[in-house]
Homo-oligomer: A and B are copies of this chain.
């Protein structure tokens, strides 16, 4: 019943087609789309806009801001239509990535908690249209988001005009799980009062001046399902290493029995690590994260997770039906917040999260590259990993030790791009093992990372690099002329493996591992 979803009857006259709404968007404008990790995204107006570009003979460019990645191939379709000038703060689409790497699309890779501040501070180009998905608009003028909050709140607040995509395929029972809080201007704001994962501090919807809503487009299309891969032998090993470590931390009195609120980045590896909790003894767990993936709902179903706070819900086809069709049972166990709150340094540090994020590669001192393949080609973006890692109680990075059939080592002498510095990386986990770097100096870190995390096929050549680096001296010893040689060789020869490793390693004294600090 549309009347349940548009409770103010005067809103009916704002209903327009996607094509009409797309027609309002002009060359040079900035649009801001709802959507975070494929969930709750604006699904039809951007596509109608791309269609218009193809039909018209007048090329135009717009800037596109979002929460994070979109579903429904929106990024691909916009990229293909050639209408995107600048894109921020995150994307995960193959075609858009190509156009970013060719320089056709300008991509600003931001910490996901920073975008709202940049908009509030008038740092970015002003937003002409916010286009946000909703399940309903209340009689008092609140837009009720669907499966994500993302940046929708600040977009609606700051945009000159708003287009709502009212999606009747999203259950209206989602109303009530959102908690919309705006911290206000820097220099004038109060402490954010959140002190526990389940606490509600805001309103159930995004307040909007009805006059600012220029159009409402009725849609009927589910979210794109997540493309997450199932856990495999290696991700199961990684989960095992991490859970053993957490067990040890509890035993040492450094974590309570129910651990600390958990954050996990998007992706198969992080999801698999969460899966590992299913068969563990841990219960009464809490989640304070961005995206709530399949494993979170499996753990909620199993009674392992007590409460989960996120900013979006992104599920596989298997899980989407069961969760959205029986949403009532999750209502008192879930809250979705704006991404600047789910990722806010103030809250991350206060709650003392355990954060688990994915690395593309890490170096022998613990610097992490999360974004740029071979230092140059963007994958997706830093996302929220920096918001969490810098401020969490325990910053964990996970990666398989090798990629591309063993031709790439994820542990290298020197990473080609740094998103997380040695100062912010506490623990690195691969299927080979876990390196606990807390309280270690660089010369203590290197042998631990080489021994615990590196694939055996790369361990001798990494030791060899480190031994040569040690002979040069320094706080973080390196051989600058060889620091990037693994990547250079991969680019030219297709493998980082050195074909004839020198035999020095067998003559070496074993390196001491660890400082006995834990």
Contacts and interface: CB of A to CB of B under 8 A. Distances in A.
Given A108-B439, A351-B187, A376-B474, A488 B484 contact: no
A397 to B, nearest CB: 15
A123 B254 contact: yes
A441 B84 CA distance: 13
Interface string A356-377: 0000000000010000101111
Given A346-B345, A375-B483, A441-B107, A191 B193 contact: yes
B418 A421 contact: yes
A271 B317 CA distance: 59
A472 B375 CA distance: 12
A515 interface: yes
Given A419-B421, A439-B108, A475 B191 contact: no
Contacts of A422: 109
B376 A438 contact: no
Contact of A382 (B423, B439, B472, B477): B423
B477 A376 contact: yes
Can you tell how many copies of this chain the complex includes?
2
A412 B190 CA distance: 41
B374 A480 contact: yes
A2 interface: no
A491 B181 CA distance: 53
A439 B124 contact: yes
A422 B423 CA distance: 16
Contacts of A404: none
Interface stretch (A19-27, A97-105, A146-154, A239-247): A97-105
A321 B102 CA distance: 61
A255 B444 CA distance: 45
A441 B108 contact: yes
Contacts of A344: 349
Contacts of A261: 187
Nearest to A378: B475
Interface string A115-128: 00110011111000
A108 to B, nearest CB: 5
Nearest to A253: B122
Contacts of A254: 121-123
A470 B367 CA distance: 25
B484 A483 contact: yes
B124 A187 contact: no
A158 interface: no
Contact of A438 (B109, B123, B475): B123
Given A106-B444, A377-B475, A475-B107, A480 B438 contact: no
13 contacts: A107-B475, A109-B423, A109-B475, A118-B439, A121-B393, A123-B438, A186-B260, A187-B256, A187-B260, A191-B350, A345-B346, A480-B484, A481-B488
